[in-house]
Each structure stands twice: as C-alpha cells, then as structure tokens.
C-alpha cells in the first residue's frame, strides 16, 4: 500500500452511558481496496461504521477523508462528501418503485417552469439512469423499473441498494452485512457486484460475519476487538481460523499486523 | 491486489451453482393465478377497489330507487353534501400517509370557521383579513400537532386526542358558544359564503365548494405523485428509518404534513360556512374527524402509512354520500347508514391487509 489512505480515523471514542463502544479506535481505507471489518458481537464494528458514515457522532477522535478533517452530523452530510452506505436493513422504502428508491432524497426535477414552479419530477430521466445503473451491474433481470421494491426478492433488493450506492458514491462505499440475509446464489450475485464495484476503482468497506465471503473478496481485514482495531491482516497470509482466533482473543495477533 | 474473478474464487460448495438455473433473479409474471393477478393489480392501483364499490353502490341504489336516484340532480346533490368531509378527508389523508392520525382535524375546522365569522362579524374586520386569520389559526393548530409529533416524538394518536379537547374547549370559551346567524354574515360580507354559490350544468347542480374539493384533490394528487415532497411523504409513512437513512428530513416532512392538514381544515371551514350559512361553535361536537378518517379508510388509505391514493379518499367520501342518500330515499332508518359505514370500514381494512400480502 504505497498510496495514501483515502479515509482514516484516529482515536475514535464513543460512549453510550457507561458502555464504551469505541475505545480509541483507528481505521484506514486505501484507494481501490476492499477492506473487510470483522469482530465479535459487541466489539464496536457497527459504531465504527456509523461514525464513518455519519449516523453517529464520535465523542472524541478525528476522521479524515482524502486528508481533510470531516465532521459528519448526519448520513446526508457523509453522502454529500461521497461516502455511500448500504445499511443492513437496506434503507429502501418498500412501497416505492425501484427508480423512486434510487433517487430518494436526491430527486431530479424537470427542466424549466415545470420543475422550478410545479416541482415536477423528471421520471423518465430518473428511470433511464436507474435502468442504466442496474444493467451496468448486471441486474437487468429486473424487468420493470417501476415495480415496488417490496415485490423484489432479498437479493434483488440488495442489488438495488448496492446499485444506488455505486451510482452515487464517488469516494467510498460501505456495505453492512450485505450477504447476511441471502441465500447461496444471491450471496454470490452480491459478491460479484462488490468485485464489480471495486473494479471501477471505488474502495469498499465490507462488514461481515461470513468468513468465507470476507476471505474471498477482501484485500485486507480489519479485526475489531473490545472497541478498537486489534490488527489488520492479509487474507492471503492468514487462515479463517486465525482471524476468528484474533477476533475472539483466543490467539495473539502477530506483531507486524498490530503495527498496521 | 489480485483480480479474483467470481468463478475462480467461489467457494467449493458453490461450484454446483454453474449448473443451476440461471433465472435466479427474473420475475415470474406469467404463472400467476387469477386471484394473484387481481391482488397485484389492486396493489399497484390502490384506488381501484373503492372505485368499484362506488360504481356498485350507485348501480344498486339506481336499480332499487330508479330514475329519481339515477339523476344528475341527485348525484350532484351527493357531491354537495360530501364537499366538507371530502376536503377534510384530503387533509386527513396527508397525515395518515405518514402513518399518523389527526383526531383534531374536525375541531380545527370548526374553530377556524368560528374565527373567520367572529373576526368578520363581531370585530367588523374586512373579510379577507378574517379569512386569513381563520387560515392562520388552522395552520397554527396543525403546526402544534406537527411539532409535538415530529420534535417531541409523541404518538400522533395521543397528541391529536389532546389537541382535539384543547381546541374544542378553546373554541367554546372563545365564542361563548354563540352562533353567528347567516343574515349577520350576509350583512357584512358575501365572501365568506363564496363556496356556497351554485351553478347549473343541465340539471346537475354544482357549488363552488364541490369545485374546490375536486381541485384540491387533483392538486394533492399531483403533488403526492409527481413531486419529491409527495414521494418523501409516502417514504416517511412507509418506513421512517429507511427514509431517514436515505437523507429525507423526516421531522420536516411530518411537521409539513400536519401543518398543511391544518390549513386544509381551514379551507374546509370556509367551504362549510358557504354550505351552512350560519357559523355554530357547537358543530365542534360533530364527529367530523371520524368522518374524515372513514372517508380515507374506505378509500383505501392504509392506516399503517405509505399506501393509498388520495383519489381513493374522494371516492371513499362519495361512497358514504351515495349510501347515505340512497338509504334516505328508500326511507330506511338513518341508523342503517351508520351500520353500513361500519361494515365498509372493517371491509376496507381487511382488504388493505390482504393487498399488503402481495408477493412476487
């Protein structure tokens, strides 16, 4: 990793009452990589991701995006800065169409008076864009862009959420447990999507409990334990049982990984 | 960084996937049963059921009563009778779409009418100022509801139950329960009665109040379906958490919905003055809010939020109007209307639940 990290966090602290969810946590994401974040339940992964994606404001510490210090007060601000997050619950509105969902919160209005006075949405432009993005990611098996999201299968919904993030994320994409609720085939589809997004040069943060998936697609693995980054390991140099051992405290991580 | 393609790095147990069906993500639009097709159609066209029910009701009463019912005069008379509830129902729809409820909408209307009347008649202010004051009070009541729901995160049912009582009593205290007679209003201004003006098209009689109701519903239909504001309203009612994560200012949308509902209630107040002539504070005890909820629910607006078309509310109000007029002309006990309304409400909610179960 010769290049500078695109997204870094230093000394993040977040307390919820007497619970310290983040205890001086550090984080580094390099351009073009897939960084997996693993950790036991309650290790503080979610809080770390929420801090980076703007859903939670850390009590202490510093987050830098491309070297600039950022202070996100909401996911919207993070999104404006180019960080898109696919939440575990997908944050899709079930009764709205695929196109409406992709543009939720950033709709395109018609040009001219229709748009400025009557605030009319440019449905055809949004549909065209959504269709293009979905087919770019090989999701065009969805035939009707106007169908409600609730009529889609779990994998298709995940696809729509990932496509939305990939379409609008300009700097970083965060995926929280993207395969947790999916079957074997659908998981495969989503993993292919993830690799596809990376091949476009976007770095991805992947939070997952699924070790085979993590080891398959990630370039580096951030192991989170007791509210902080324990170590960063290379999936090619360690086994899944190593990772689980570090994560649960069964084994001490190697010294060089700690320094990372 | 390697460039693992999916095929190389797939897990051992996934190798068999290569031979499996490739139609994993496609849709089965063909092999549906007729019932599923109907369910799907209704799912995508929420105003269809009430529309069918409305047509059925008109046909049944038309057959039972004959040409006396099936005349443009009677049918437009029904429209005149539902204008107030139709407008209030539109206000209620906005709130219900956000998965809320506004129990105070009826008393906001009455209070707003009382303000308009008192400002114009008792205080002798110019009619436009009196009307603006009415809208101001209606909007303020709606804003209070919206503030309590969106900022203090109190449940809409409790908030509006509370404001229902507060506004109703304020209405009685302010007006000393004194009715303003029609002649007194007419002596001061004709503007307050503007929505009572009627015109004829053949034997059909329309009032400006009816025209206002239709224009309002069409305007809201446009706003709900073709502007970002409308999409956000649906998204907030559908899944507030998802809406928030998608970058929608949920609290603002809620505040806006309740405030707008209050303003529309003031419009209903103005229309009600045109229809009733006089202005009576004791109208506050009428169950206008429940009638508005009834219109929305029969019209297929889901009480769980995010579903339904405002067109349905208009049709829902018409259904109640048709049933009530039909039974009236048949000389039935008026309680049968109440009875049937109850049955319709329960049926509408049952159908809503069924539609929500749509799959594939």
A223 vs A251: CA distance, rounded Å: 13
Burial class (CB in 10 A: 0-12, 13-18, 19+), B34: exposed
Asked if A204 and A35 count as a contact pair (C-beta separation under 8 A), the reply is yes
Q: Determine the pLDDT at residue B6.
A: 43
Interface with A, mutate which of B4, B19, B237, B247 (most A CBs under 10 A) = B247
Q: Determine the pLDDT at residue B67.
A: 85
Maximum Cα–Cα distance across chain A:
66
DSSP A164: H
Write the pLDDT tens digit of every residue in B63-118.
988 888 888 899 999 999 999 999 999 999 999 999 999 999 999 999 999 999 99
> Do A105 and B247 count as a contact with CB atoms less than 8 A apart?
yes
B253 vs B249: CA distance, rounded Å: 6
> Do B14 and A87 count as a contact with CB atoms less than 8 A apart?
no
Q: Determine the pLDDT at residue B4.
A: 43
> Do A92 and B242 count as a contact with CB atoms less than 8 A apart?
yes
B266 vs B268: CA distance, rounded Å: 5
Least CA distance to A115: which residue of chain B? B227
> Do A141 and B24 count as a contact with CB atoms less than 8 A apart?
yes
Q: Determine the pLDDT at residue A251.
A: 85
Residue A161's CB is within 10 A of a number of other CB atoms, namely 24
Least CA distance to A165: which residue of chain B? B246
> Do A76 and B226 count as a contact with CB atoms less than 8 A apart?
no
Maximum Cα–Cα distance across chain B:
90
The kind and range of the H/E element at A84 are strand A83-86
As a whole number, the mean pLDDT across chain A is 86
Q: Determine the pLDDT at residue B16.
A: 67
Q: Determine the pLDDT at residue A55.
A: 84
SS3 per-residue string spanning B43-96: HHCCCHHHHHHHHHHHHHHHHHHCCCCCCHHHHHHHHHHHHHHHHHHHHHHHHH
A219 chain-B contacts, CB cut-off 8 A: 1
Write the pLDDT tens digit of every residue in B16-54.
666 655 444 444 455 567 787 777 777 777 778 889 889
> Do A105 and B27 count as a contact with CB atoms less than 8 A apart?
no
Least CA distance to B2: which residue of chain A? A219
Residue B123's CB is within 10 A of a number of other CB atoms, namely 10
Query: 3-class SS at B303?
Result: coil
For chain A, which domains are there? 7-90+151-259 (3.40.50.300), 96-147 (no CATH)
B210 vs B228: CA distance, rounded Å: 28
Interface with A, mutate which of B19, B24, B46, B230 (most A CBs under 10 A) = B24
B272 vs B317: CA distance, rounded Å: 16
Write the pLDDT tens digit of every residue in B216-262.
999 999 999 999 999 999 999 999 988 888 888 899 999 999 999 99
> Do A96 and B231 count as a contact with CB atoms less than 8 A apart?
yes
Q: What percentage of chain B exceeds 90 in pLDDT?
A: 62
CB nearest to A151's CB, from B1, B23, B360: B360
Write the pLDDT tens digit of every residue in A18-50.
888 899 889 999 999 999 999 888 888 888 988
> Do B11 and A32 count as a contact with CB atoms less than 8 A apart?
no
Write the pLDDT tens digit of every residue in B149-182.
999 999 999 999 999 999 999 999 999 999 999 9
Q: Is the pLDDT of residue A256 over 50?
A: yes
Least CA distance to A1: which residue of chain B? B1
Plot region of B124 (φ>0 → left; ψ -120 to 50 → alpha; else → beta): left
Q: How far is A175 from chain B, CA to nearest CA, in Å?
A: 14
For chain B, which domains are there? 50-60+70-349 (1.10.3470)
Write the pLDDT tens digit of every residue in A198-243.
888 899 999 988 899 999 999 999 999 888 898 999 999 988 988 8
A25 vs A13: CA distance, rounded Å: 7
Q: Is the pLDDT of residue B359 over 60?
A: no
> Do A93 and B9 count as a contact with CB atoms less than 8 A apart?
no
Q: Is the pLDDT of residue A13 over 80?
A: yes
Q: Determine the pLDDT at residue B8.
A: 47
Write the pLDDT tens digit of every residue in A171-203.
999 998 888 877 787 788 888 888 988 888 899
Q: Determine the pLDDT at residue A153.
A: 80
Q: Determine the pLDDT at residue A113.
A: 83
Closest by alpha carbon to B213, among B308, B117, B93? B93
Asked if B225 and B93 count as a contact pair (C-beta separation under 8 A), the reply is no
Length of chain B: 360
Q: How many CA atoms lie within 13 A of A24 on its CB side?
A: 1
Pick the range with the lowest mean pLDDT from A79-88, A116-125, B16-25, B28-37. Answer: B16-25
């Amino acid at each position: 990793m010769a290049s500078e990290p695109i997204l870094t966090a230093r000394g993040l602290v977040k307390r919820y009452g007497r619970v310290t969810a983040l205890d001086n946590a550090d984080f580094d994401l390099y351009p073009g990589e897939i960084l997996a974040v693993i950790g036991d339940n309650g290790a503080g992964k979610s809080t770390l991701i929420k801090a980076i994606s703007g859903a939670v404001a850390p009590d202490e510490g510093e987050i830098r995006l491309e070297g600039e210090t950022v202070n996100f007060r909401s996911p919207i601000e993070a999104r404006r800065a180019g960080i898109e997050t696919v939440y575990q619950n997908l944050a899709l509105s079930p009764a709205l169409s695929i196109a409406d969902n992709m543009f939720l919160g950033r709709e395109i209005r018609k040009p001219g008076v229709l748009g400025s006075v009557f605030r009319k949405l440019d449905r055809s432009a949004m549909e065209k864009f959504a269709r293009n993005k979905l087919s770019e990611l090989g999701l065009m098996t969805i035939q009707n862009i106007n169908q409600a999201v609730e009529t889609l299968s779990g994998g298709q919904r995940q696809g729509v959420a990932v496509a939305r993030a990939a379409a609008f994320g300009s700097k970083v994409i965060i995926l929280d447990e993207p395969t947790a609720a999916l079957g074997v085939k659908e998981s495969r589809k989503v993993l292919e999507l993830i690799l596809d997004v990376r091949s476009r040069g976007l770095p991805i943060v992947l939070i997952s409990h699924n070790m085979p998936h993590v080891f398959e697609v990630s370039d580096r693995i951030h192991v989170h334990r007791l509210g902080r980054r324990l170590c960063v390991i290379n999936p090619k140099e360690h086994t899944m049982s190593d990772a689980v051992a570090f994560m649960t405290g069964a084994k001490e991580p190697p010294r060089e990984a700690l320094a990372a | 960084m390697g460039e693992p393609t999916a095929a190389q790095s797939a897990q051992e147990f996934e190798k068999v996937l290569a031979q499996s069906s490739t139609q994993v993500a496609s849709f089965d639009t063909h092999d549906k049963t007729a019932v599923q097709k109907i369910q799907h159609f209704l799912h995508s066209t929420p105003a269809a059921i009430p529309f069918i029910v409305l047509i059925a009701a008109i046909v049944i009463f038309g057959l039972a009563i004959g040409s006396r019912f099936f005349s443009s005069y009677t049918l437009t008379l029904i429209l005149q009778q539902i204008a107030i509830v139709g407008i209030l129902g539109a206000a209620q729809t906005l709130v219900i779409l956000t998965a809320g409820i506004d129990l105070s909408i009826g008393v906001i209307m009455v209070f707003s009418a009382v303000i308009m009347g008192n400002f114009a008649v008792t205080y002798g202010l110019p009619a436009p100022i009196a009307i603006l004051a009415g809208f101001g009070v209606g909007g303020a009541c709606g804003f209070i509801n919206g503030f309590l729901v969106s900022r203090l995160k109190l449940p809409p049912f409790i908030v509006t139950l509370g404001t229902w009582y507060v506004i109703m009593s304020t209405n009685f205290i302010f007006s000393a329960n004194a009715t303003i007679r029609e002649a007194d209003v007419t002596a001061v201004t004709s503007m307050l009665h503007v929505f009572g003006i009627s015109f004829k098209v053949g034997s059909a009689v329309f009032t400006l109040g009816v025209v206002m109701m239709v224009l309002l519903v069409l305007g809201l239909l446009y706003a709900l379906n073709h502007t970002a504001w409308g999409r956000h309203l649906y998204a907030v009612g559908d899944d507030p958490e998802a809406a928030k994560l998608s970058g929608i200012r949920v609290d603002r949308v809620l505040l806006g919905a309740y405030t707008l509902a209050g303003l529309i209630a003031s419009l209903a107040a103005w229309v009600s003055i045109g229809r009733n002539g006089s202005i009576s504070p004791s109208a506050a005890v009428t169950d206008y809010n429940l009638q508005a909820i009834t219109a929305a629910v029969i019209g297929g607006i889901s009480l769980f939020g995010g579903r339904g078309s405002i067109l349905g509310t208009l049709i829902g109000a018409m259904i109640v109007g048709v049933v009530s007029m039909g039974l009236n002309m048949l000389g039935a006990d008026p309680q049968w209307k109440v009875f049937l309304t109850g049955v319709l409400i329960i049926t509408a909610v049952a159908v809503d639940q069924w539609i929500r179960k749509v799959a594939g």
